[in-house]
Every structure is written in C-alpha cells, then in structure tokens.
Amino acid sequence: MTDVTRLHAHEMAGLLRSGEVSSHELTEAHLAAAERDNRALNAWLTIDRERALAEADAADARLAAARTDHAHALDRLRPLLGIPVALKDLVSMAGGQCTAGSRILAGYVSPYDAHITERLRAAGAVILGKTNMDEFAMGSSTEHSAYGPTVNPWALDRVPGGSSGGSAAAVAAYHAPLSIGTDTGGSIRQPAALCGVVGMKPTYGRVSRYGIVAFASSLDQIGPFGRDARDAAALLHAIAGRDDRDSTSSPEPVPATLTALPADDDEAARSLRGKRLGLPREYFVAGMEPGVEARVREAVAALEAAGATVEEVSLPHTAYGLATYYIVAPAEASANLARYDGIRFGPRLGDGDVLANYLATRGQGFGAEVKRRIMLGTYALSAGYYDAYYLKAQKVRTLIKGDFDVLWAQGFDALVAPTSPTVAFRLGTRLADPVAMYLSDACTLPVNMAGLPGVSVPCGLSDGLPVGLQLIGAAWSEAALFGLARGYEAITADAPWRALEPAALASAADAKVPTPAERMAEVAVGAAI
C-alpha cells in the first residue's frame, strides 16, 4: 500500500469507512513521520503519541460499530472521524501544554479544552500534538519561538512563514493532513503560501476563540490548514459556529456546503464560469518578487480561461494598512498580555516585592518581538497618545474596511491577490529589521482589519519555492471562497508542480542535517532576536 500520509483527509476518510486502513494505522504513520522529521524541522513542540493512539483506537471502535450497524451508519459518521490533526500550541487542550511559543507559559498545563478542541473531539479527530509558532503569534517566520525556529520543508534554510509556521510545515511535510492555526495579520495564509498548502482565515466571529491564547482580540481568528480546499473546508466546518463562551462568535449559520465541495474536477471547474473577480492593483506592491507576480498572474489567467471575469480594482487605503495594523495589534496585545504576570500561573521570577517579580517575570519571560509589541502598544495607549495612535488607527481601519465594502456592493464574488510578496525567505534575514518582517504581511493584514475571510492556495513555484494565491471574500463567504479554491485546483490539477513534494523533505530524516536551532545560531549572530 502507498504511504497513507500522502493522502488527503477525504481520501483517508474513504479508506477508514471501507476498512482498508484503521485510524490506528493512520495515526501511527503520521506520528512516525513527525517523530522522524522533527529534529530537522522543529514543527512540533509536543507529539502526544499515547493520547493520539488512544483517540485513534476510539475512532476505530466507532467505525467498527458503524460498519456492523445498518447500511447508513457509516454515512452518518463525521468526516474527520479518525483523521489526524495538529493544533497550534496556543489552543488549550485539557491536561496538555499550551506555551504559545513563549517561555512565560513554560510548564503551564491547560485546565480545560478550548471550544475548538471540544469540537474536534466531538468530530472524532485524532489530535497528534501541538505545533511551533512565533511567540504569542507575533511574527511572520516562526523564528520568534522561544523553542527554536521551525524551518520550511521545501528548503531547510528557509522560514515556513508565521506565526502558524509549525502547523503549515507539519501539513506540508505530511505529518498531518490537517492542522489548526490562528491568523491575526496573515498568520495562517502567509505560512500556507510559503509552505505550499491551503490555509484559510475565516470571517471574524466565525470560530469561537474560547480557550485560545489571545493576541489582538479585534483581529484574531482561528482557521484550518489542509493540502487541498476540500480538506481545509471540512476542518473549518467542524470548528465553526456560535459558542456563548466567546461573545464575538457569530450565530451566522455554518454552511453545510463546506463539506460538499465537488469531488469531480469538471464540476469544480464549471463552477468558475461567470464568477466576477477583482484584482486589487495595490496588492502588486513594490518589492514583490517577479516570480511571485508571474505565478499569481498565471493563476489569474487560468481563472479567466475557465470562464471567470477578472477586473482590475482598487483598494485605495491599502498603503495605510501596515501602519494601522501595527498600531491596533500591538495596542490590543499589550492589554491582552498584561495577564502574564507570574501570579496565578506560569513561572514566577524574582524574589523581591510584587513589582520586582513583575519586572523579572515579564522581562525574562517574553522574547524580543513580544516585548517590542508590548512596548509599542503601551506607548500607543498611554495618556496623551491614545487619540493620536489607537483612535486614529481605528478610523483608518474604517476606511480600509470601506474599500472592500465598495467592491462587494459592486457585485464582486471575490478578490484575487498574492498572499505574500515573496517566497520563503532565508532564516535570519529579516530578524534584524522588524519593519522588513512586518512587510511580509502587507497583502494579508488588510483582510484582518476588515474582518473578512481569505484563503491562500498554492499556485506554483518560484525558484523551487511555493507561491500562494490569496482569495478574499465578503463576510461569511467562506464556502464560496473554498468553491473558488476548489475550482482553481481543478483547472490546475494536471500542472506539473502539483506533483512535486517539498524538496528538502527527503533530507529531513537525515540525522546529519543541522537542527533549526543550530542553523539559527549560525545566522543570528548580531541579529536582534
């Protein structure tokens, strides 16, 4: 039998139902791959073998019971039953660690499950472990993890993107067919693009954030990674919906079509006909790599050839997105991260008075990027500066959101844009310049500012590295976006690049390749990390 880790989740589901493979076997294969490669990739912070296999056995029992039950029992099983899933290490899982990539949560054990953890358990998914991330989801490269960087399965000297770099790399490296990330300014879509997988940031409010470590509460959203649109859509379906423990989660119905994207390529391709797509000219920014622009424009041409109409449009306030984001997000972060004070949980450093403990715990517990953002946010919210920064940014945010609203009112089905202006960059190259790092998200963060859904799908390679195509839709249009993504997959199903596996994966199992921490030590001399 072929390597089951290469299958899509919907293919695994078929084999589980037919009994050709058990969840135990699936889980074991993925655990083995993750354990084998993690020395070279550092995509995982924990791999919970025992728990995962126990969950797999439980799923196998449910499958067996359904098989002996009446004829429709198998059809009624949830799509994710027995399917391995990875969680970003800021999702609470009772009894498990939840570091958020930070020293300040070292040793912390979640006392309860996040809402999405409950949902995944209810769906029968097998949680393999927790993936690496930029500390508190602040970063675009996963280099800002207190537990060492993750590297890209396509090139081990390059970043996987971030902040959900571990989740993206794990799916790209066939350690799991599905994973969970969070996206505050591009933290799902950008690593999805850099690792060559599908990743969606849903509409703000689509998924409950109860039990998720908060970064910027008006922007954070949880979303899925998968290796194709159908898988990612099914995972979103499993976690989406109202939860009264997160008052920002919406009662908006979760469309069942998320689990019913066309399996047939012709049908999927036909769905592109007549779709009206906008191409925002401001997203083809200066500094965009020619290879990235070429792949994106080829993808646009392919969509047009399949019957979609593409018109150039303008989002005139795009240029203000970065500055606006880097006021709003740090301001909210500085408030959210005030809770990490060493009083109720986490390490408590210092042995003096309360103030000395705060200073020591937070000064030594947070990494450089987190401190930078707390400082920015504290400054922006401090007396006398609130109106100049935070209020001003919120007003500009209105303008940014308005840019999108104009296009939806004109009847566009979606916008097509690059996800990241560059392919995966080399480890260490943007650490010394925070602004250069922040520019990685120039094409994704306006979508967060406007609260919209966006999905990144692979659209080819540039210099052997993946390029992502971003599809942006109106609020609550995730199913339509996945439909477009599925259509694009269908019309490029035969493209040669789709058959390629991540180039560096073969060497990941080699015990002689440097670990990410060793690579980082080489490149980070003098860099501010």
Partner 1 sequence: MEEDLGVGETRRDGRAAAPRRADDEPAEGTIVVLEHPGGLRVREAPVEVRAILAGDHAVEGRDRLEVRRRERTNARIGGLAIEPGRLQHPVPRLDLEAESLVQRPANLGGDENEGPASGRLRGLEGGLRQGQPDPAPPPRRLHPDRTDPGGRAADRHQARPDHGAVGVGDERARLRVARGEVEIGPTVAPVLAQERGDDLVDVGGRHGSDPWEPHRPIVADASAIIGRMATLSRAEVEHVAHLARLGLTDVELGRLEVELNHILDQYAILAELPTDDIPPTAQTIELENILREDVVRPSLSVEAVLANAPARDGDFIVVPAILDKR
Least Å from the CB of residue 362 to partner 1: 5
Q: What are phi and psi of 85, to 5 degrees?
A: -135, 145
Taking the complex as a whole, the smallest distance from the CB of residue 388 to partner 1 amounts, in Å, to 4
Residue pair 136/337 in contact (Cβ under 8 Å)? The answer is: yes
152 vs 203, beta carbon nearer partner 1: 203
Q: How far is the CB of 247 from partner 1 (least distance, A)?
A: 4
CA dihedral 174, 177, 181, 183 (to 10 degrees): 90
First to last CA, the chain: 45
Q: Is residue 167 a contact partner of residue 189, using CB atoms and an 8 Å limit?
A: no
Give me the least distance between CB of 432 and partner 1, in Å please: 10
Residue type, 66: A
The position carrying tokens 């996963």 is 142
* CB crowding 216-237: b at 16 or more within 10 Å, else e: bebbbbbbbbbbbbbbbbbbbb
The answer to whether 218 is a known catalytic residue is no
Comparison of 88 and 317: residue with beta carbon closer to partner 1: 317
Taking the least distance from each CB to partner 1, the nearer of 194 and 216 is 216
Output DSSP code: residue 475.
T
DSSP string, 50-75: HHHHHHHHHHHHHHHHHHHS-TTTTT
Q: How far apart are CA 234 and CA 276, in angstroms?
A: 25
Q: Which of 22, 23, 110, 163 is catalytic?
A: 163
- The CA distances from residue 463 to 183, 238, 425, 503, in Å, are 27, 36, 12, 11
Min. distance of Cβ 328 from partner 1 in angstroms?
9
Least Å from the CB of residue 202 to partner 1: 11
Min dist. Cβ of residue 96 to partner 1 (A): 13
Is 14 or 386 the residue whose CB approaches partner 1 more closely?
A: 386
- Residue 102 backbone class (left: φ over 0; alpha: ψ -120 to 50; beta: rest): beta
Nearest to partner 1 of 122, 391 (CB atom):
391
Smallest separation, CB 299 to partner 1 (Å): 27
Q: Is 163 a catalytic residue?
A: yes
User: 272: how many CB neighbours lie within 10 A of its CB?
Assistant: 23
Crossing angle of helices 229-239 and 115-123, rounded to 10°: 110
User: What span, in angstroms and rounded, lies between the C-alpha atoms of 521 and 53?
Assistant: 35
Rounded to a whole number of angstroms, the minimum distance from the CB of residue 370 to partner 1 is: 9
* Burial (Cβ within 10 Å: 0-12, 13-18, ≥19) of residue 350: middle
When the beta carbons of 453 and 516 are compared against partner 1, the nearer one is 453
- Output 50 or 353, the one with its CB closest to partner 1: 353
Strand order through the sheet with 465-472:
44-47, 126-131, 84-88, 178-183, 221-226, 198-201, 454-462, 465-472, 414-418, 276-280, 309-313
Catalytic residue among 23, 102, 110, 187: 187
As a whole number of angstroms, the distance between CA 125 and CA 121 comes to 6
Q: Residue 326 or 488: which CB sits closer to partner 1?
A: 326
Query: Which CB, 310 or 368, lies closer to partner 1?
Result: 368
Length of the chain: 529
Q: What is the dihedral of CA 227, 14, 130, 39, to 10 degrees?
A: -70
Catalytic annotation, residues: 88, 163, 187
